[in-house]
């Protein structure tokens, strides 16, 4: 009988120990399950926030793409306007060059150098067309003939004669007559 009691005691102890181990393992599993549930909830919140942010980013990208398309259209328009203005300027400069050639062909002096102010090829092309080349940058050597007689501002200038009554500014004051 004692063997039966010992076996029953060992079975009871094993049963109690198994129940305790089961409870400990169940509590560990509950803690892990709770941790996984909390983590899953946090991930859900993060995913929801990211989805909301990505929705905002998608709207912003759509808006920026619309602005970009508008800017590209404006750039195309500006390029067209710039091209048109450039062609008009090129035609105007060509007309000026042609006019300068015509003036020189009838014996007139070359332009005063305004076309030489254009940078690069255009200025060099102009100088070449009017025959100046490298000497075009040199100052002109002008000499004037000296005239005998009274000096005037212009050689062809007529003498100025006022149309109204002539008064002498020196004689107008009371101090000048008495002195």
Q: What is the pLDDT of residues 108-146, one digit of tens each?
A: 777 665 555 555 455 555 555 555 444 444 444 455 555
Whether residue 38 is contained in a domain is answered as yes
Q: Is residue 108 part of a domain?
A: yes
- Name the DSSP letter for residue 165: -
Contacts of 104 (CB under 8 A, 6+ apart): 110, 130
Look at residue 145 and tell me if it is in a domain. no
50: which 2 tokens? 């990211």
Structural domain containing residue 62: 2-132
Name the DSSP letter for residue 149.
S
Give me the pLDDT at residue 57, please: 95
Number of domains in the chain: 1
User: Quick one: how many helices (H) and strands (E) in the chain?
Assistant: 3, 0
Closest CA to 115 of 105, 104, 125, 107: 125
164 within domain boundaries: no
Q: Is residue 176 part of a domain?
A: no
In this structure, is residue 56 part of a structural domain?
Answer: yes
Predicted confidence at residue 103, as pLDDT, reads 87
Note whether residue 154 is domain-resident.
no
Q: Is the pTM of this model over 0.75?
A: no
The whole-number pLDDT of residue 108 equals: 79
**What confidence score (pLDDT) does residue 145 get?**
55
């Amino acid at each position: 009988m004692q063997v039966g009691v010992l076996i029953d005691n060992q079975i009871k102890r094993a049963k109690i120990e198994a129940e305790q181990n089961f409870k400990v393992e169940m509590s560990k599993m509950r803690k892990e399950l709770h941790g996984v549930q909390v983590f899953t909830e946090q991930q859900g919140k993060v995913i929801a926030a990211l989805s909301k942010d990505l929705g905002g980013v998608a709207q912003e990208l759509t808006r920026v793409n619309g602005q970009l398309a508008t800017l590209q259209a404006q750039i195309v328009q500006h390029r067209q306007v710039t091209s048109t203005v450039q062609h008009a300027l090129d035609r105007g400069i060509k007309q000026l060059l042609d006019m300068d050639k015509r003036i020189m062909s009838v014996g007139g002096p070359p332009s005063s150098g305004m076309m030489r102010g254009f940078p690069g090829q255009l200025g060099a092309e102009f100088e070449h067309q009017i025959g100046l080349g490298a000497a075009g940058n040199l100052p002109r050597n002008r000499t004037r003939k000296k005239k005998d007689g009274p000096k005037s501002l212009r050689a062809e200038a007529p003498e100025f004669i006022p149309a109204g009554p002539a008064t002498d500014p020196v004689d107008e004051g009371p101090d000048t007559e008495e002195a």
